[in-house]
Amino acid sequence: MKPLPTLRQLRYLVAVVDRCHFSRAAEACLVTQSTLSAGIQELEELLGAPLLERTRRSVIPTPLGREVAERARALLKDAEDLVDIARAAEDPMAGPLHLGVIPTIGPFMIPRVMPALRAAFPELKLYLREDQTARLITRLESGELDCALLALPYPLGDLESVDVVDDRFAVVCPPGHRLCAQPTARTSDMHLEELLLLEDGHCLREHALAACALEDAPRNTAFQGTSLHTLVQMVANRLGVTLLPQMALDSGILRGLDVEVRPLAGESPPRRIGLVWRRSSGRKATFRQLAEALKAEMQPAKA
């Protein structure tokens, strides 16, 4: 029988290719540098070709090394999925679960749902990773994350998703602003405003503009916020108006600030908060149960 690489050897190679550094790769794999180096050397001897170019200051993957590492990622992900299938068969809501969440959801949704999740699934260990959508999807596809809470619509490729809650937008403006003259803000009036928005890379920026059909409208290019908290501080200082999702408003983000809020008139499209996972994952039962629990917690309070 033809000798085959071990998963451990492949994991070592991927770690080095990702970091181009033996010490940091060994640290990521929780082994000594000599153990990692020996494992990669065994892999090179097995394949009969060098996978890394070693110098005193750096490590550079050879073209073959890059190709082997890329294929190794898929093998490692499939092996992890096999383990997930076995664990999920025993108890879908137990064990570690790595959940990604974007910055315009995490601070407002996670504190609201976490107590209920802990009570309902005491054996589930949630590890949270906050990042922008594109990077979360990359981590999801590579197997670093199990699932992610994202704002939709967004191109998901071969990922699956289930909607958790609709999150509508409202206009936040300084007191006495013309948009506050009526009980609701008309989207047609928004075309005259230079909006304070998040910087590029935050999908809420595009969702907010789509909610008002403002994709081609003027916007404040002198300032681009890095968080919703920064945007509302700018509004409170009378530097413009912004659009906030209801989730952030419900969390009390405007508490103590001298601003006014007006819902958008008409049927403006909300952003959809969805739970997303790999189509090949063996933990779909886990994700669906988690999504149902999130839906229940995010339902509007009954009067």
User: Parallel, antiparallel, or unpaired for β 95-101 and 271-278?
Assistant: unpaired
How far are the Cα atoms of 58, 125, 160 from residue 122, in angstroms, in the given order? 45, 8, 26
Distance between terminal CA atoms of the chain? 70
Q: Going along 38-123, which residue ranges are E strands?
A: 52-54, 59-61, 95-101
The CATH number corresponding to 7-78 among 3.20.20.30, 1.10.10.10, 1.25.10.10, 3.40.50.980 equals: 1.10.10.10
pTM above 0.75, yes or no: no
Torsion 41-29-91-74 (CA) sign:
negative
pLDDT tens, residue by residue, 55-101: 777 789 999 999 999 999 989 988 887 877 777 667 888 888 999 99
Closest CA to 207 of 148, 257, 262, 273: 273
Same fold, 91-165+272-298 and 169-263: yes
48, pLDDT greater than 80: yes
Tell me if 130 sits within 8 A of 106, measured CB to CB.
Answer: yes
pLDDT tens, residue by residue, 227-283: 899 999 999 999 888 889 999 999 999 999 999 999 887 777 888 999 999 998 888
- Burial (CB count within 10 angstroms: exposed 0-12, middle 13-18, buried 19+), residue 252: exposed
Percentage of the chain beyond pLDDT 70 is 92
Comparing 188-197, 213-222, 277-286, which segment has the lowest mean pLDDT? 213-222
SS3 content of the chain, % helix, strand, coil (to 5): 45, 25, 35
Q: What is the mean pLDDT of residues 213-227?
A: 60
> Which pLDDT score is estimated for 3?
86
Domain ranges of the chain: 7-78, 91-165+272-298, 169-263
CA atoms within 13 A on the CB side of 56: 0
Q: Tokens 């981590």 map to which residue?
A: 139
> Which pLDDT score is estimated for 216?
56
pLDDT tens, residue by residue, 130-182: 999 999 999 998 888 999 999 998 899 889 999 999 998 899 999 988 888 88
How many residues can be counted in the chain?
303
> Which pLDDT score is estimated for 220?
47
The CATH number corresponding to 91-165+272-298 among 3.90.950.20, 3.40.190.10, 3.40.50.880, 3.90.79.10 equals: 3.40.190.10
What confidence tier does 215 reach under pLDDT thresholds 50, 70, 90?
Answer: low
User: CB under 8 Å to 87, separation ≥6 — which residues?
Assistant: 94, 95, 283
How far are the Cα atoms of 73, 217, 254, 299 from residue 287, in angstroms, in the given order? 23, 38, 32, 18
Closest CA to 72 of 4, 156, 145: 4
Cα 180 to Cα 115: distance, rounded to the nearest angstrom: 36
Top-level CATH class of 169-263? alpha beta
> Which pLDDT score is estimated for 303?
42
> Which pLDDT score is estimated for 119?
95
Q: Rg of the chain over CA atoms, in angstroms?
A: 24
CA angle at residue 290 from 284 to 295, to 5 degrees?
Answer: 125
Q: What is the mean pLDDT of residues 184-194?
A: 76
Three-class secondary structure of residue 100 per DSSP:
strand
Comparing 4-8, 14-18, 82-86, 269-273, which segment has the lowest mean pLDDT? 82-86
Cα 103 to Cα 226: distance, rounded to the nearest angstrom: 9
